[in-house]
Amino acid sequence: MNRDSFIDPAKTACELVRLLHQGAGADEFARFLAEIEAWPAVTPDKAALVETVRMAMAVRNRLDVQQQRERGLMAVIESAEDLSSRLELDGLLAAIVARARELLGSDVGWLSVLDADRSEFRVVTADGALRQATTKMMVHHDRGVASVVMSTRLPFTTADYVQDRRFSHDPVLDETFREEGLVALAGVPLIWDGEVIGLLFVADRYPRTHSAQSISILCTLATHGAVAIRNARDFERANAALDKANRAHAELERYARGIQAAADAHERMTSLIARGASLSVLCETVAQLVDGSVLVLDEAAHVISRGSAQGYEGAQAARYEPHGERSAELAHAFQSSRRLGRSVAAYEADGETCRVMAVIGGDDVLGSIVLFHRGELEEVMVRTFERSSSVIGIVLLSQERMEAARNRGASTLLRSLISPRPEEAAVLANRAERQGFDLHQPLALMLVHFEGASAMYAARSLRTTDPVAGALVDDAESQLVVLCAATRAQDVRQAVCRWARQHVATGYRGVLSRPLHGPAEIPAAYSTLTRALPVLARIGVQHDIVSQNELALYSTLFETHDQASLTSFLDATIGPLIAHDRKRNSELASTLLTYFDCNQNAKTTADRLGIHVNTVRQRLATTEELLGHWGNATRALEIHIALRLWDLSGSRTRGGPPSP
């Protein structure tokens, strides 16, 4: 600077005004002052010029402070505008952090929100960070600067965070600061209703001391952040409450529609019953109401009616088999449904759900309804399906009553014939003639016990089955009773066995009487066969109907014995023989039984078995070695009876005596 140019105070003032007008920096004013102070002391008015420059510098500093305040005020105004115009919390908090960093000239800024459940602060937005770890910082409320701010609820600054020992350090947070290169830190609390809900931070990569003005701006922005968080949370709660109310209203409307739909469905099914609709029509209606496929099963799980909704695509109903691969699951679901009085889901396959509902009539099981459907079934639809069981039960009971009315005469006649005090022969003959049954022909009586199945159901099914259709069929004392012509007895026996194999999975056993000559012999035969059935159970007969002649001797011997007694008898009498056959896969027992049945004639035995007579003699010799000599009649009879019991109980095909 030319000293002569500014020796005039007026010219110096003009230059200072120019610098102030141009917004010159503090360094330019400092250089101007240094040059004047370097003038010789003899320079006229030097002291006045120095004072003038210093006053200009003071004016410049006040202008600078004023501008900083204006920028802070503008930032506060902009934040306030954001609060009133923005509803998206993340964007608003990001704007607050960016303004704080810009106004304070800091390298990094971030805002943390308190997770009250975990008692830790989590960064929700950051600006200026170089590492991803910085944007994901977490610190417990009793660690770092957070602990000081939480306890004092006042701003906190530190010129060197890592070296500051005024608070407990978090090793992970300290390492993040070192990696990011952060040194100075200033933090202020976000307070609402006296509680700290968050923290606003700015940090620098060099030691720095913040002015009160900077901290004041930071506090104001933090207040705006607290308002934003609270507003957002209140807005979320309001939205959640509104959404809950809307859902409740929608659920109420859906429930009302469901109630109306259920009422309409019930009215529709009731109307069908009133009009005498068939079971198939009811099945189709139920299928349409629940949008699926419906099967009505009888007591033995056989299909008696089916229906499917229009357009429903599903193959499970068509593939259903009474004793198929899913029968165990269906049986379990049926038992649960009967116990609970509600429908039960049995299984899922190929995108379809199978649901079972028991059909009960009084204390009796009439059958079940099986529904196949896709997707989730609404509760109203489930209730509609369950109510349909009552309607279908009414139809099944009605069918049973009509069938019982048609067969009442035959049932009454059969019960009279087996009664210990039958009516007069002439009266019975007249009643039988009205039923188309001839009592003067030789007759045969059959009793059958079913395991886990209803004799009533068996009688109902067999009445229309050839050749049983011409016989008298009923249930008595939980047993199936059949009276037929003696000439047709074997055909009827085979028909009953065939039906039982198809419909009774658990087992059955029965006895067929000798030919009976007149109604007078029927009560005694019925009593004898009734006593014979427990004998069959004791000797292990299953899945067969035996003749009375085969059982006569064994009834006398074993009516009062149990299965264990029979097993002990067989083991003691022919046990070694059976064990030898089982071990060697030989046929000594069957050969000896045939030998006894052929009056102990070796040649006849060989002819019947289709083997050489010497083979028979060799087998008999081996048998005698195993059982000892059976030459006397008593020993031979005992062995013959044991072999006959072994054969009758089915052990012949199983390779051993019946197991207890």
Run means of pLDDT, 10 residues per run, the chain, 660 residues: 54 71 72 73 70 75 69 62 62 85 88 89 88 86 88 90 91 90 92 88 91 83 83 81 86 76 73 76 85 86 86 85 84 88 89 89 80 86 83 78 70 85 77 84 92 79 80 88 92 90 82 89 87 77 81 56 65 85 89 88 90 90 85 76 76 43
371 bridge partner residues:
294, 355
Query: CA 121 to CA 197: how far, in whole Å?
Result: 9
Query: CA 51 to CA 47: how far, in whole Å?
Result: 6
Q: How far is CA 41 from CA 2, 44, 520, in A?
A: 16, 8, 162
pLDDT of 633: 74
pLDDT of 226: 86
Neighbours of 487 (CB within 10 A): 12
**357, 369 in Cβ contact below 8 A?**
yes
Residue showing tokens 């067989």: 570
Whole-number CA gyration radius for the chain: 52
Query: CA 556 to CA 535: how far, in whole Å?
Result: 9
Query: CA 539 to CA 542: how far, in whole Å?
Result: 9
**Sheet with strand 120-127: strands edge to edge:** 138-140, 120-127, 108-115, 195-204, 184-192, 156-158
**127, 110 in Cβ contact below 8 A?**
yes
Query: CA 144 to CA 139: how far, in whole Å?
Result: 7
Flag whether the pTM goes above 0.85: no
Query: CA 601 to CA 587: how far, in whole Å?
Result: 17
CA torsion, points 432, 437, 441, 442, in degrees to nearest 10? Answer: -100
pLDDT of 31: 74
Neighbours of 414 (CB within 10 A): 27
Largest CA distance in the chain: 169
Q: Which two tokens stand for residue 560?
A: 């009062």
245, amino acid identity: A
Query: CA 229 to CA 479: how far, in whole Å?
Result: 80
**504, 453 in Cβ contact below 8 A?**
yes
Element (H, E) at 201: strand 195-204
Q: How far is CA 122 from CA 127, 146, 186, in A?
A: 15, 11, 17
CA torsion, points 313, 314, 318, 320, in degrees to nearest 10? Answer: -160
Task: Find, among 174, 365, 384, the residue nearest to 289 by Cα.
Answer: 384
Long-range Cβ contacts of 433-436 (<8 Å, 24+ apart):
434/409, 435/409, 435/410, 435/472, 436/470
139, amino acid identity: V
Task: Find, among 208, 202, 203, the residue nearest to 159 by Cα.
Answer: 208
Residue showing tokens 């600078």: 64
List b or e across 325-346, with b for residues whose CB sees 16 or more CB atoms inside 10 angstroms: ebeeebbebbebbbeeeebbbb
pLDDT of 506: 76
pLDDT of 85: 54
pLDDT of 529: 87
